Amino acid sequence: MRIEYFQLIDRIVALDIGAGTICVEAVVPRESTIFEGHFPGHPLMPGVLLIESMAQTAGWLVIGLTRFERMPFLAALKEVKLRTFVTPGTSLSITAKLLHDGSGYAITKAAIEADGKPISDAEITFRIMAFPDASMRLAMEETAARVGFPMQALADG
Amino acid sequence: MSSTFDTVANIIAETCDIPRDTIKPESHAIEDLGIDSLDFLDIAFAIDKAFGIKLPLEQWTQEVNDGKATTEQYFVLQNLCTRIDGLVAAKGA
Instruction: State the nearest Cα–Cα gap between B42 and chain A, in angstroms.
Output: 9
Distance of CA A105 to the CA centre of its chain: 17
From chain A, pick out residues whose CB is under 8 angstroms from the CB of B48. Answer: 100, 102
Instruction: State the nearest Cα–Cα gap between A104 and chain B, in angstroms.
Output: 6
Burial class (CB in 10 A: 0-12, 13-18, 19+), B77: buried
Nearest residue to B27 via CA among B83, B84, B86, B81: B81
* Residue B13 touches chain A, beta carbons under 8 Å: no
- Which is more confident, B93 or B79? B79
The stretch B25-47 carries a mean pLDDT of 95
Q: What is the per-residue pLDDT for A157?
A: 67
Is the pLDDT at B1 greater than 70? The verdict is no
Taking CB atoms and an 8 Å limit, are A103 and B57 in contact across chains?
yes
From chain B, pick out residues whose CB is under 8 angstroms from the CB of A107. Answer: 45
Is the pLDDT at B59 greater than 70? The verdict is yes
* Residue A69 touches chain B, beta carbons under 8 Å: no
Q: What is the per-residue pLDDT for B64?
A: 95
* Residue A76 touches chain B, beta carbons under 8 Å: yes
Is the pLDDT at B93 greater than 70? The verdict is yes
The ipTM, to two decimals, is 0.90
Taking CB atoms and an 8 Å limit, are A100 and B38 in contact across chains?
no
Task: Name the residue facing A107 among B45, B58, B61 (closest C-beta).
Answer: B45
Q: What percent of chain B has pLDDT over 90?
A: 95
Taking CB atoms and an 8 Å limit, are A103 and B44 in contact across chains?
yes
Residue A38 is among the residues annotated as catalytic for this protein? yes
The stretch B43-63 carries a mean pLDDT of 96
Nearest residue to B22 via CA among B33, B31, B8, B30: B33
Residue B36 neighbours by CB under 8 Å, 6+ apart: B30
A:B CB pairs within 8 Å = 35
Q: Write down the catalytic residue from A16, A38, A66, A82.
A: A38
pLDDT, one tens digit per residue, over B17-30 is 999 999 999 999 99
Q: What is the per-residue pLDDT for A153?
A: 81
Burial class (CB in 10 A: 0-12, 13-18, 19+), A29: middle
Write down the domain spans for chain B: 2-92
From chain B, pick out residues whose CB is under 8 angstroms from the CB of A103. Answer: 44, 54-59
The stretch A128-155 carries a mean pLDDT of 93
The stretch A97-104 carries a mean pLDDT of 97
CATH annotation of B2-92: 1.10.1200.10
Instruction: Tell me the whole-structure pTM to 2 decimals.
Output: 0.94
Burial class (CB in 10 A: 0-12, 13-18, 19+), B41: buried
